[in-house]
């Protein structure tokens, strides 16, 4: 998922850009799909890779709720007061396969 604005990776409270990205995604899912959507996505959602210089991120989510997450990603407009424009590039079954496609 490329982001148009780079994020700061580290912060003083121990939560990095990955945690902020995951929280913004959960809030977008809750906005569209209410509490049931947030509960189903929260269980298996994690930001695996988040690079501030390239603005690229990889998010892992369980099979099933991944559809809720994919429908909510366009509504993520801010991460930690930074404006972002997310685009979904690829949806894959495993993180390893996503990295293979990303490197092509």
Question: How many whole angstroms separate alpha carbon 9 and alpha carbon 83?
Answer: 16
Question: How many whole angstroms separate alpha carbon 63 and alpha carbon 79?
Answer: 24
CB 50 within 8 A of CB 3: no
Domains recognised in the chain with CATH numbers: 17-103 (3.30.70)
Would the pTM count as exceeding 0.85?
Answer: no
User: Residue 63: pLDDT above 60?
Assistant: yes
Q: What mean pLDDT is reported for the chain?
A: 83
The pLDDT-based confidence of 54 (bands split at 50, 70, 90) is confident
Per-residue pLDDT reduced to its tens digit, 77-101:
998 888 888 888 788 888 888 888 8
Residue range 9-35: average pLDDT?
Answer: 80
């Amino acid at each position: 998922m490329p982001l148009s604005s780079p994020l700061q990776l580290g912060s003083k409270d121990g939560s990095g850009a990955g945690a902020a990205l995951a929280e913004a995604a959960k809030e977008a899912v809750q906005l569209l799909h209410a509490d049931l959507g947030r509960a189903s996505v929260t269980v298996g959602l994690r930001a695996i890779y988040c690079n501030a210089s390239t603005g690229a991120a990889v998010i892992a989510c369980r099979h099933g709720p991944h559809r809720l997450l994919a429908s909510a990603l366009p509504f993520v407009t801010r991460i930690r007061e930074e404006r972002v424009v997310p685009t979904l590039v690829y949806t894959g079954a495993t993180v390893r396969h996503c990295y293979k496609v990303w490197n092509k």
